[in-house]
């Protein structure tokens, strides 16, 4: 049984990696799908993604019902629907195809959750999953915005975050082991330190994203990433005080994701250097 769980976790890791690479290259994949299958299939991709998501949920519910272990938290189903609707309504009307980001990030949040070993999941795991997927959503928009024919904005990042929120809400609704979200993460001093570090990290990422949108038509300065790096450092220090191993590992992963923001101004500035 343990071997099967390890294999399943490994497969979810692989799927998460494939999704991360695919999402960054959505524009290229979108174009190639149009060439290969026609505009109808290409324009229908958001609906195909939603259909795949719904089918996956139906299969999961069916398997759990057959085993007699089905339990649904309907308020969290409602929350998932609300987050998804807000995300869909927030997309740029000039680019309706961007609605595909909502089901994309719902799927990524679900896959990332199941890629974590059950023994390492804690009451805070879903919160960490949300932050990780939302932080990746910022990376996604920055990387696509580097292309001269592409752009990005805070709206797109918000849409990605809504998809992530819908994804973790769906997991919380359907996976009984995720119901006990508590902030019993240690003594009050540790708890306040961790919360403060998260606030700093979120604020740092937001300031970096704000700078990115302000310098869309210009060179992104190196200093723009400093708030995100400072927040990552605060999170790294506070996270090591968490008592559960799963929480410490999750924080380290989040810190790594935030440190990678330094790549964006580096790539932009180095690409413009003249070595002639």
Q: What is the pLDDT of residues 146-167, one digit of tens each?
A: 655 555 678 889 999 999 999 9
Residue 178, number of CB atoms within 10 A of its CB: 19
The residue count for the chain? 276
Q: Residues 234, 263: contact at Cβ < 8 Å?
A: no
276 lies in a domain?
A: no
List of long-range contacts for 84-89, beta carbons under 8 Å, 24+ apart: 84/162, 84/163, 84/166, 86/162, 87/158, 87/159, 87/162, 87/163, 87/166
Note the pLDDT of residue 188. 64
Residues of the chain with pLDDT under 50: 182-183
Q: Which domain holds residue 108?
A: 2-271
DSSP 219: P
91 lies in a domain?
A: yes
Note the pLDDT of residue 268. 75
Note the pLDDT of residue 167. 94
Q: Residues 201, 232: contact at Cβ < 8 Å?
A: yes
Note the pLDDT of residue 154. 82
H helices present in the chain, as ranges: 2-24, 26-37, 39-43, 45-67, 74-90, 101-114, 125-145, 154-174, 188-214, 226-239, 245-259, 263-271
Note the pLDDT of residue 24. 81
Q: Residues 210, 154: contact at Cβ < 8 Å?
A: yes
Distance in angstroms (rounded) separating the CA atoms of residues 274 and 73: 58
217 lies in a domain?
A: yes
Q: What are the phi and psi torsion angles at 95 (to 5°)?
A: -130, 70
19 lies in a domain?
A: yes
Note the pLDDT of residue 5. 73
154-174 and 125-145 helices, crossing angle to 10°? 150
Q: Residue-wise over 19-55: b if at least 16 C-beta within 10 A, else e?
A: bbeebbebeeeeeebeeeeeeeebeebbeebbeebee
Distance in angstroms (rounded) separating the CA atoms of residues 37 and 34: 5
Q: What are the phi and psi torsion angles at 160 (to 5°)?
A: -60, -40
Residue 179, number of CB atoms within 10 A of its CB: 12
Note the pLDDT of residue 218. 74
Distance in angstroms (rounded) separating the CA atoms of residues 56 and 73: 18
222 lies in a domain?
A: yes
16 lies in a domain?
A: yes
Number of folded domains in the chain?
Answer: 1
Q: Residues 133, 105: contact at Cβ < 8 Å?
A: yes
């Amino acid at each position: 049984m343990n071997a099967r769980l390890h294999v399943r976790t490994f497969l979810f890791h692989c799927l998460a990696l494939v999704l991360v690479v695919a999402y960054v290259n959505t524009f290229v994949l979108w174009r190639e799908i149009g060439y290969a299958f026609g505009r109808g299939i290409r324009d229908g991709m958001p609906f195909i993604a939603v259909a795949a998501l719904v089918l996956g949920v139906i299969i999961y519910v069916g398997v759990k019902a057959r085993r007699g272990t089905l339990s649904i938290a309907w308020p969290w189903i409602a929350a998932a629907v609300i987050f998804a609707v807000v995300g869909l309504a927030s997309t740029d009307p000039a680019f309706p195809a961007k609605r595909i980001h909502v089901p994309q990030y719902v799927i990524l949040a679900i896959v990332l959750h199941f890629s974590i070993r059950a023994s390492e999941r804690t009451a805070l795991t879903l919160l960490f999953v949300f932050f990780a997927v939302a932080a990746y959503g910022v990376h996604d928009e920055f990387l696509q915005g580097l292309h001269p024919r592409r752009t990005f904005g805070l709206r797109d990042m918000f849409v990605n975050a809504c998809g992530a929120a819908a994804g973790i809400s769906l997991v919380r609704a359907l996976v009984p082991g995720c119901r006990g979200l508590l902030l019993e993460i240690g003594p009050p001093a540790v708890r306040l330190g961790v919360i403060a570090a998260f606030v700093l990290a979120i604020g740092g990422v937001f300031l970096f994203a704000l700078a990115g949108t302000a310098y869309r038509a210009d060179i992104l300065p190196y200093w723009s990433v400093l708030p995100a790096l400072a927040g990552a450092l605060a999170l790294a220090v506070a996270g090591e005080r968490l008592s559960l191993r799963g929480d410490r590992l999750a924080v380290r992963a989040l810190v790594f994701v935030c440190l990678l923001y330094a790549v964006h101004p580096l790539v932009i500035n180095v690409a413009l250097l003249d070595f002639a």
